[in-house]
Amino acid sequence: MTAASMTSFFAKSLSSSSGSDSSSAELFDRVAIPKVFAIFSEKQESATLESKIQGNEPEQPVTNAQPGRIIAAKPGKGSGMARNSHVSEQNRIVSGIRFEELTDITQIHIQGGDGTTAVLRSFKEAELPSELLKNLLRMGISKPTAVQCATLSLMIRKSDFDIIAQDQTGSGKTAAYLLPIIKHIHDIRNRMQLSHRATAHQPFAVVVLPTRELVGQVAAEAANLVKNLSVRVAESYGQMDMSITMQQLRVGCDILIGTPGRIIAHTRPHGPISVQLNRLKWTVIDEADHFLRQDRKVFETVMEILSQLHERLYVFSATFDQYVVNTYKCYMKPTPFEIIGRQGMPNVALKWRLIESGGTLRKLDTLLADILEIDRHNEVFPKTVIFTNQKRRCSFVAFHLALHHIKAIFISGDMTQEQRERMIERFALCEFKILVCTDIAARGLNMKDVQYVINFDFPVDTIRLQHRVGRTARLGNKGTAYIYFDLDPKAEGRRPFEILEFMNEIGRRPPKWMYKCALVNPPTDVLSGEMEPEDNLCGFNSSLERERTAKLKRKRDLNAKTSYFIRFAFTLYISYPLNPLSF
């Protein structure tokens, strides 16, 4: 069977997997996925075999709690990513040519609280500990971004208020909340002369994150920031080896970073992994909007536990709407501060691809063409992330690329945590330049030198699109995002009118054909090419307003007709009641 015929067969199986006959889809799982794993694992297995022949044992992971102590993770379990190359100094993203735009404090708006709008201008103004300043310089961080200036000012000088903070992806929000918390804990320990033995299992701060890999990344970032300080960090996430977490808790746990499920497990009393929250002062919810759209029940359980004990709640994300803000305000003290930064993807060039017919096969052809185009425009093939909506489709795309001799690696929720961490590490080490993944890698992950993002499947909403595209062009770097849009009415995420509104909000112009998909009467200046891209959007705005008005009118007309027929039928029934005996 040739590569083309195999791809066609499995593409059809993928399309039919949602129906009653899933035998071909099961065949794909049995045949294709193991083949891809074999291709991906060949190099790793040969390296391990070579090390065993030479008598060298593979290097084991080490925890954040004790940098010199080796604790091996159990097979299939996560090790905390402390020694993963993804979080190494070599994989740290370097600020790009447009970094100065991220430091522009005029792009930040502060409201609420006691009305204070003043921000700090440098790390020295924040009076951070000298060792913390040295750690920042060692990490290549010398100047705070705008969101860091605002957050440092409010969390240090206005510590009696809760905070809701929003800024674009890749703007340094993680350091924005870690730095002031580390400063506060350092000051408390020095002032009260607390030993880590006395405060074991008693965190001062809890950071809640949506994905396992993001927990590992943030914990590694925190561990780098607290070097040579009297502050300890512990991490915990699903499928992470519990013995590693227990060791971290025993040696000291000032900041506990974890996923919601593990945080709940730690709050249960009378267990080896239980923590006491009597010293809890700060709760941080990162990627906060995610929890209200997914895993809400688990998250509400976490908030019920923490909100009764913490003194302050800090909420961060790149994408907030009024519903999210109002929901979190229910857990906060009155009048929290709101930090509003830039939205959108200002440093990303968007390239749209219209899939008019052919479905998955046409998208696969388009994907190959785009990869060849990327290769043609770069001397060395750059790191590229491809997003799909389904786990099976994720492995299928990687399989298709492998059949065409294109090295790619994939990550999905069906893998063990050990496999997921190994795949991320191999991508970080550039063993593979293409990463195919689902939305588990869409939020927060810092991937160095990722220049291209390809949305093979359009996400189910524009918020996910924004987070996917945010894997490139971080910290002022530039990037390119390809977005595939399927004309099939049954295609997932096909909401052209919502896309037009989103593009209008972020000040970007969509392709001309999107207007035809979404609007009854598209603006003629757009279709004729008279409107310049990303400039004059007046015609676009007026068209959106006309379309909204037309939709409301159609809805009112429909309601009026329905109401008329209901009244008519009721009048008819009252005037001429039906007699069952007449039939």
Tell me: do 278 and 300 sit in the same domain. yes
* Amino acid code (one letter) for 301: T
Q: Are residues 308 and 434 in the same domain?
A: no
The region of weakest confidence among 252-266, 404-418, 493-507 is 493-507
Tokens representing 536? 């004059």
Locate all alpha helices (DSSP H) within 332-461, ordered by sequence.
359-376, 391-403, 417-428
Q: Looking at the structure, do residues 246 and 354 belong to the same domain, yes or no?
A: no
Residue 50 counted as domain residue = no
Q: Is the pLDDT reported for residue 131 higher than 80? A: yes
d(CA 102, CA 335): 27
Distant-in-sequence, close-in-space partners of 20: CB < 8 Å, separation ≥ 6:
none
Task: Give the best-scoring range by mean pLDDT among 59-63, 168-172, 357-361, 495-499.
Answer: 168-172
Q: What's the rounded mean pLDDT across residues 8-33? A: 51
Instruction: Give the domain-ending residue among 310, 325, 340.
Output: 340
Share of the chain above pLDDT 90, in %: 63
- Once rounded to an integer, what is the mean pLDDT over residues 324-339? 96
| Cα angle value 195/196/200 (rounded, 5°) | 130
Amino acid 470: pLDDT: 96
481 and 379, same structural domain?
Answer: yes
Q: With a cut of 60, say whether residue 12 has pLDDT above it.
A: no
Helix (H) or strand (E) holding 299: helix 296-306
Our count of domains for the chain comes to: 2
Strand order in the sheet with 312-317: 109-112, 337-340, 163-166, 312-317, 282-286, 205-208, 255-258, 233-236
Of 281, 257, 277, 258, residue with least CA distance to 267: 277
Are 260 and 373 found together in one domain?
Answer: no
pLDDT at 474: 95
3-state secondary structure of 332: coil
Question: Does position 20 have pLDDT exceeding 70, yes or no?
Answer: no
Residues 289 and 366 in one domain: no
CA atoms within 13 A on the CB side of 77: 18
The pLDDT-based confidence of 35 (bands split at 50, 70, 90) is low
- The verdict on residue 32 lying in a domain is no
pLDDT of residue 446: 94
Domain membership flag for residue 71: no
Per-residue pLDDT reduced to its tens digit, 165-175: 999 999 999 99
First to last CA, the chain: 67
User: Which strands sit side by side in the sheet containing 434-437, from one edge to the other?
Assistant: 348-355, 479-486, 450-455, 383-387, 434-437, 409-411
Residue 34 pLDDT > 70: no
Burial class (CB in 10 A: 0-12, 13-18, 19+), 392: buried
Q: Identify the three-state secondary structure at position 261.
A: helix
Of the listed ranges 16-25, 31-40, 394-403, the one predicted with least confidence: 16-25
Comparing 7 with 174, the larger pLDDT belongs to 174
* Segment 455-490, tens digit of pLDDT: 999 999 999 999 999 999 999 999 999 999 988 777
Question: 239: phi > 0 → left, psi -120 to 50 → alpha, else beta; which?
Answer: left
Tokens of residue 310, six digits: 């913490």
Q: Span 325-350, mean pLDDT?
A: 94
- One-letter identity of residue 271: G
529 occurs within a structural domain: no
Please give the helix or strand (H or E) that residue 315 lies within, else none: strand 312-317
At residue 233, the pLDDT reads: 96
| CATH code of residue 156 | 3.40.50.300
Q: Please state the rounded mean pLDDT for residues 125-132.
A: 96
Shared-domain flag, residues 349 and 373: yes
Averaged pLDDT, 36-51: 45
pLDDT given for residue 41 in this prediction: 47
> Between vectors from CA 87 to CA 85 and to CA 88, what angle results, nearest 5°?
60
Average pLDDT over residues 532-549: 51
Least confident of 32-46, 223-237, 353-367, 388-402: 32-46
Q: What is the pLDDT of residue 29?
A: 53
Q: Tell me, yes or no, whether 128 and 262 share the same domain.
A: yes
Q: Residue 75 pLDDT more than 90?
A: no
**In this predicted structure, which of 136-150, 280-294, 358-372, 566-580 has the lowest mean pLDDT?**
566-580
The mean predicted confidence, pLDDT, of the chain is: 84
What's residue 43's pLDDT?
45
Q: What is the mean pLDDT of residues 402-420?
A: 94
Can you tell me whether residue 453 is helix, strand or coil? strand
Looking at the predicted structure, is the pLDDT value of residue 178 above 90? yes
Strand partners, 190: none
Is the pLDDT assigned to residue 26 strictly greater than 60? no
Task: State mean pLDDT over 239-244.
Answer: 92
Which pair of structure tokens corresponds to residue 275?
Answer: 């923590």
Give the residue, 386 or 28, on which the prediction is more confident.
386
Same domain, 445 and 322: no
pLDDT at 60: 39
Residues 206-220 have pLDDT tens digits of 999 999 999 999 999
User: Of residues 263 and 14, which shows the higher confidence score?
Assistant: 263
Amino acid at 209: L
Inside any domain, residue 374: yes
Q: What is the structure's pLDDT at 199?
A: 83
Which of 290, 306, 340 delimits the end of a domain? Answer: 340
Q: Which regions of 438-571 does DSSP assign to beta strands (E)?
A: 450-455, 479-486
Compute, in degrees rounded to 10, the torsion defined by CA atoms 424, 430, 435, 439.
40
pLDDT of residue 339: 98
Model pTM above 0.75: yes
CA dist., res. 410 & res. 394, Å (int): 7
The whole-angstrom separation of Cα 524 and Cα 534 is 17
Instruction: Give me the pLDDT at residue 61, please.
Output: 38
Q: Tell me the residue range of the domain where 224 lies.
A: 85-92+102-340
Interval 338-359 mean pLDDT: 92
Is residue 174 located within the same domain as residue 124? yes
Spatial neighbors of 299 by CB under 8 A, at least 6 apart, are: 208, 260, 291, 292
Banded pLDDT at 198 (limits 50, 70, 90) = confident
Examine the fold and report which residue of 467, 494, 521 is the final residue of a domain before the chain moves on. 494
